[in-house]
Amino acid sequence: MLTEKIKDYNILLGSQSPRRKELLAMLNINFQVRLGDDFDEVFPDDMDVNDVPLFLSRGKSHNIPLVNSNDLLITSDTIVVLDDNVLGKPADYYDAFNMLKALSGRSHKVITGVYFRTNNKEIGFCSTTQVFFKNLSDSEIEFYINNYKPYDKAGSYGIQEWIGAIGVERIEGSYFNVMGLPVQQLYTELLKFIN
């Protein structure tokens, strides 16, 4: 079991996201948050969208110093992909409205890249979930943005919020991945990494 095998490591989460902290805590392992300098989340224009989350999570990892010999750092990045276009965090109300209008009545991909790093090895993986939205009315989109202010969320929504409850018809893949951390796959890959 992971909780037994991981005792020798100082687990670090390289994220200030409250959702990622909550999700990692579900695995019942002790961890601390460690942040580096501000990381500019940019990627090459010609990069395949499926490679972007791992590229960014690796970049975040190498932006955070490992201080102790037993440090094990976990970083991640989640993107929303519609028609091979990456939908980042909205700049303002109108940007959020337009993103949600584009997602309405369609399916899109949510891809999270996760990266593990110690002083002597590192590895990463990706998890993809397909999300299917119903047709959202303008008033539903307006209500959500006004009440939940999803400006810190890729694609302008959080599946765990009101919009997920009323708007998401179904998903294919990990629900927690859409929240920002594919905890089941993370558990499995972490077990392999420390063995």
Give the active site residues.
77
Across 76-111, b (16+ Cβ under 10 Å) vs e yields bbbbbbbeeebbebbeeeebbbebbebbbeeebbbb
Residue type, 34: R
- The single-letter DSSP state of residue 137 is P
